[in-house]
Amino acid sequence: MTVAGEESRSVQPPPRLPIPDFRRWQDVLGLAEDAPVEIVDAVRHPLPVRTATCPPWRPPRPLQPDGIEVMFTPGAQVECYDRKLRQSVHTAGQLRLPSGGLIAADPSSLDLGTKPFSVTVPPGSYPVSVSLATFVDDPRHSRVTAARLEVADRPAVRWALALRDGQEPLDLGYREFFGFGVDAGMACFVDADSIDRMKDVWRTLGGLVEPRYRTIGSGDMVAWSSGWGDGAYPTWIGYDTKGAVTCFVADMLLFSTDDEDEDGM
């Protein structure tokens, strides 16, 4: 047809393709207009077959918090790599947050422009507890499961990934997360206004082999050894029934999952 008032041009309707009858699969394949194709038996055929242990696609669902309550249940047992570990919870001390801006990071990276989480808390001091997992068959061997900064003494009914400015959850793929990287085998909580004074403290911590955690100074930093060692770790924010922040939990991802082949960010 010709559109009035415009330069004469012809508009062609899209071609209408025939609708093959049910079970006429060869007719459907013929619409591809590619190389010749054929239908073969699904079980017995000479065509090459490629197998994989993982599905070719996964939904873009980021990592979700798992078992946080168990991490902070004294005496709870968790199986990991065919061995049993028993949880214990320890008071690390009070963390001073003069600005209310919390940072979770490798203490050796505080001079690299580390930013606080976008969710802040009122300035003050907050108790920090550390969860340790001890091998039942080797009581001398323990690892840090998580560290929790308690904002309010109320149970969390919802968890969300702690984000920094500019981080968008929609950018995350399957089981990915925004977290903090660890290269020195240690992690810490510190206030955004304290990082300049604390940036060299990590050199004095000795890797936090024993004890596994420590409060620095008068509460300027709480540091702990990071799970199995170096890697990337998420921090979760707990919210109560009214949507108020109850705690921050740095998850050391100590326990294996059913998706070990997927890496986090």
pLDDT at 36: 63
pLDDT at 63: 92
Q: Which secondary structure element, helix H or strand E, spans residue 25, and what is its range?
A: helix 25-30
Give residue-wise pLDDT tens across range 191-212: 999 999 988 888 888 777 678 8
Q: What residues are paired with 235 via a beta bridge?
A: 250
| Best CA proximity match to 203, nearest among 186, 181, 182, 220 | 186
Question: With bands split at pLDDT 50, 70 and 90, how would you rate the model's confidence at 229?
Answer: confident
Give residue-wise pLDDT tens across range 128-182: 999 999 989 888 888 899 999 999 999 999 999 999 999 999 899 888 999 999 9
E-state strands within the chain:
77-80, 83-97, 102-105, 124-135, 138-150, 158-161, 180-182, 186-191, 213-216, 221-225, 231-233, 235-239, 245-251
